[in-house]
Structure 1
Amino acid sequence: MPDYREDQLDELLKETIESTLDGIEVPPVDKEWEKFDAKYGNVLFNDNEREHYLADLIVQKTPGLGEENPAIYVLKPQNATSEDRKKSVKPYSLRFLRNIAAACILIAIFTMMIAKPQKAAAMGEWILQFFKVKTGETTENIQRYQGSSGQQAGEYQEIKTVEANLEEAQKASPFRIGIPSYLPGNVTERKIYYEKAGDIFLVRIEYYEAGQKVILLNQKNIKGDNAFSKGNDTDDSLSKRIKIKGNEALLFEYKNNTLEIVWDNNRVLYQLRGELPAEELIKIAESIG
């Protein structure tokens, strides 16, 4: 198949559709009406109604039908008055219309992903920057905005999780990995994992007490326009601003008794999570060095 430009493909598609429509043979209205009248006339109409009904018919030829049923008829749409149009319009809510608009955008992006992955990636990044905070009456999207993205459009890379000790993880990491000097109770065991995707490096440290994971500490270097993005249901959680070593931080309190602190320092994003009182979690965060 020869290579076509987009405008050439559009023109070729237009010509094909027009040629197909021009080739459809529409039978005479009078002949088709006689068949219809012979079969249904006595049942559906009286003599006074037939002329009025015929005036309101549009002939529609359906390709592929046999000679016994070569055409179908539908009623012409009547010209509605302005008052009729007002009655027919449903009072859709703003939220419903926003959802429709969002669905259209997602359909457009999905279609573009198939045809042009690079353009889809660029558009997706633009849309993420456009929708900033509120996404509904009981949800919010919290983002940390940093600099310019270094991600290449259409780029794909498999991400592997590697388990390592602290020394091995530190050798692979482009930043100094923070380790808390304070841990509550009998929390002593830990497991360290890291992942790398391009310029992004993520370290995950899990702390255990009696074999149960009780604390999770994530660290990631900040790259791109949206270093941190979090969808938060305000019905199930509360968030408030606090300070960690003088840096602005967010404290999330969830209904399942889990707390989470998110902050950044020296272009490293920290996420500390656990089922602990807020004072304990803040104390752990303050001890990270």
Structure 2
Amino acid sequence: MNAMLDIRDLTLEFETPGGLVHALDRVNLSVERGECVALVGESGSGKSITGMSILRLNGANARIAADQIALDGGDLQGLSDRAFQTVRGRRIAMIFQNAKSALNPLRKVGDTLTDILRAHAPEKLTRRAARARVQEVLEQIGIHQAEDRMLAYPAELSGGMCQRIMIAAALVCEPELIIADEPTSALDVTTQAKVMDLLMSACRTRGVAVLFITHDLALASAYCDRAVVMHAGQMLEDGPADEVFVRPRHPYSRMLLDSMPYGKDAAEELKPMGGNLPDLRRDDLPSCRFADRCPRVQPCCRTAAVPQTALRDDHTVRCFFPHD
């Protein structure tokens, strides 16, 4: 069977007044049906623009090349912009980071969700039928008094409730893939857990594939099946979440975990990573973009093509010198 999402050798560049930005370098990524894959890394590592590339939302100055960007075995690259409109929203949905900003402040949330469903549903729906379907989805994901909530404006709802509304907007058209870009970063810990429980429960029940973009390693470890570690536009490690977050094999993955509170009993255990992400406008970027920060760096890391080493069938590392 085909993976629900299958990306091969995705490269992305941006034309800017300051020069050409080499944003993504030969990204390979897949998500199976019913699987939740975490895409983790520092801010600026390329997580969000990877998700935006799938949906063609990176802007007119983006130059994208890929061997394949496939959804359920069908390559999306050959679709015209008009044809792609049937994919965006209907087959692939996105949950944005700041729900209150993503929702139209001048429209009641019920009207927004109804319009989304009518625009993307495979069959033509009357407004009454669409509103009934929206209310049903809101109730399914645990929103009480859903009919009353549909009459509210975003400013009248809490951040957690707005995030629930965004999850409903993603689920209402029954997509095959959901890209969730930091969907809980603005929420408190308790609300984070409730929102993630809602999202995962809905997706497991429907068999929806989820690409979960986050910097929160604890959240990714608790909810995701696999983890993909990203740095400066390169995928460095891909494996089962419980392995990547417990026994990381790439030096960057290990240093990333050491620098975060995840799994630490005392502040003294934190180890700052040091260094900065490279300037992606450089034409002389090293083969491994982590080379300038890596304690294991050797001359080959800067000049030779970095191998993708399969530690097992389901765990790969892009590194000359992975940890044992």
> TM range, normalised to the smaller chain?
under 0.3
- Larger strand proportion, structure 1 or 2? 1
Higher relative contact order (CA 8 A, sep 6+): 2
TM-score, length of structure 2 as denominator length: 0.22
